[in-house]
Homo-oligomer: A and B are copies of this chain.
Amino acid sequence: MTTQQLIDQIQTKKSFLCVGLDVDLNKIPQHLLELEDPIFEFNKAIIDATHDLAVSYKPNTAFYEAYGIKGWMSLQKTINYINSTYPDIFTIADAKRGDIGNTSSMYAKAFFEDLNFDSVTVAPYMGKDSVEPFLAFENKHTIMLALTSNEGAFDFQTLNVNGKELYKQVLETSKTWKNSENLMYVVGATKAEYFTEIRKIAPDSFLLVPGVGAQGGSLAEVCKYGMNANVGLLINSSRGIIYASNGTDFVEKARAEALKMQQEMAAIMSLKFEV
């Protein structure tokens, strides 16, 4: 998918919502456990109920790998279902991969070719040659960790290097890499005030923003400081939507939560882009 197609979808749906498909068998409605592939059936139901409100789905690979080969099969069925049924959706493999060059090429092959995701998240610690193999894929997007939403973000990401915080150095350095126009960044919503600084370094990039909802970040604050002329944000919600109910009404409750977020997003967009 091209960046322009993502932008068009955001304008059409008046939404920049990403739904995180972090499926834990202990948290989904227990009646689904009788089915052959509860993880896929849960995802399918959530996707069918929210696809007009969300522009993106983001399975986190950890939740699939934890169930071994069965989990990997559920992941494959989920991405195939999205790609065949809702081809306008922007898909994110939240995998946080990264390795030396020839090895990163294999990861890129896994997520961009074998599974056919539009994007994958990567970790920056190993530097240029660990990320560039992902960037080489045309119309695929590489979403690099910059400033994450967890407590441990302050262990290293905000340390001062060369007179600036490490995450800013990571952003700046990454912009010098080959095909860096294929980069997006992960920036946690729990630190809305940081978006002003980040937008000075990466004014045009899309930012994937976890931490709204369960982790306490504010949508309005993130938009105030982080939005650009193309919106430029993908706001992720996982638990707040997919676990809105664990009863037989989980589909309706998930849709209601997604709708609430989409309406808030539409309101923010109409204020921001009013003519």
A contact residues vs B (CB 8 Å cutoff): 22, 24, 60, 62-63, 65-69, 71-73, 76, 94, 96-101, 103-104, 106-107, 109-111, 114-115, 123-131, 145, 148-157, 159-162, 166, 169-170, 173
Contacts and interface: CB of A to CB of B under 8 A. Distances in A.
Nearest to A113: B66
**Which 10 pairs show the lowest CB-CB distances between chains A and B?**
A127-B152, A127-B155, A65-B110, A62-B106, A66-B106, A100-B150, A128-B152, A159-B161, A129-B152, A68-B114
A73 B104 CA distance: 20
Nearest to A22: B103
B125 A150 contact: no
Contacts of A126: 96, 123, 145, 148, 150, 152-153, 157
Of A124, A161, A173, most buried by chain B (CB within 10 Å of CB) is A161
A156 B170 contact: yes
Contacts of A72: 68-69, 72
A66 B110 CA distance: 4
13 contacts: A62-B99, A63-B106, A66-B114, A68-B72, A69-B73, A96-B123, A123-B125, A125-B125, A127-B153, A128-B151, A156-B166, A159-B161, A159-B166
Contact of A69 (B24, B76, B157): B76
Given A123-B126, A126-B153, 10 more contacts: A65-B111, A65-B114, A72-B72, A100-B148, A124-B125, A126-B157, A127-B152, A128-B155, A129-B152, A156-B166
Contacts of A115: 68
Contacts of A154: 127
Nearest to A62: B106
A129 B106 CA distance: 28
A151 B129 contact: yes
Given A63-B106, A66-B114, A69-B73, A98 B123 contact: yes
B156 A159 contact: no
A73 to B, nearest CB: 6
Of A94, A115, A127, A169, most buried by chain B (CB within 10 Å of CB) is A127
